Structure 1
């Protein structure tokens, strides 16, 4: 995604960090990633994404999916993509957790 979630915004240090984190995910099963670590990594309904993300899905002709997968890299940092037949296609780098912001309950 161009703009706030684009890969073009990454510096070398962040790219190396991402490579290492993705390599760690590759050592795990999807059950370990999405079930055991559900608090951090999970599917999100497209309708719950920010307007900019929903618009971008239409622009890249991926608006026929119902859910995207969010993988947590650190506190706010996420990568987003589509999981299809065990293969995740990465779409966005979300360093500030803005694609689908979460809000604390009772605040």
Structure 2
């Protein structure tokens, strides 16, 4: 009859069994690493990239950020259109007049006057809208104006805001001394300055 194992012997036996199990796991793990080292790793080929060619225009149509069309194919029978996309609203004139109009001026003067003009053709604006002149005569109320006839400050500012290629402005005359200066191209008017005191072209 086999003698019973003491507690110490049982503990030592369990430790040996555990050590054998760990050794077996280590051998198995090492074997797996060796097999991995001998395997060939396949790398998928790099696909060809579908490259898009970006065309760069060598000579842009305009050097300025604002494109203004030419006077070609202008019809006097078309109605006036207008905008403030290139209006000069920064700073003030030397006679302390702000270039930026107020909200009240926009609503009660600018928008009102040009909304009325939108109902007229350019033929009517240029040839039928008249204002009294000396000697019981009448002259066009709205008309082109050579830049050289404006005060020097206005001529300089015209160049500063990038309009030097245009040597003729267009002037709308409103109530009293109020004037609207800009560029007329085709049937469109680009409002540049809203003037209150008639100092840009003093009489």
Q: What TM-score, normalized to structure 2? A: 0.47
Structure with higher Rg: it is: 2
Higher strand content, 1 or 2: 1
- Counterpart secondary structure, 2:193: strand
Counterpart of 1:12 (choices 97, 103, 111) is 103
Q: Deviations over 1:35-62 (max 9, x none)?
A: 2125321111010011111011111110
Task: Structure 2: give runs of 5+ residues left out of the alignment.
Answer: 1-87, 131-139
Q: Which region of structure 1 is more displaced relative to structure 2, 12-21 or 32-41?
A: 32-41
Deviation at 1:11, TM superposition (A): 2.7
Pairing 1:60–2:151 present: no
CA RMSD of aligned residues (A): 1.4
Task: Structure 1: give runs of 5+ residues left out of the alignment.
Answer: 103-107
**Runs (4+) off by over 2 Å:** 10-13
Aligned length: 100
Compare relative contact order (CA 8 Å, sep 6+) and give the higher one, 1 or 2. 1
> Which residue in 2 is equivalent to 1:105?
none
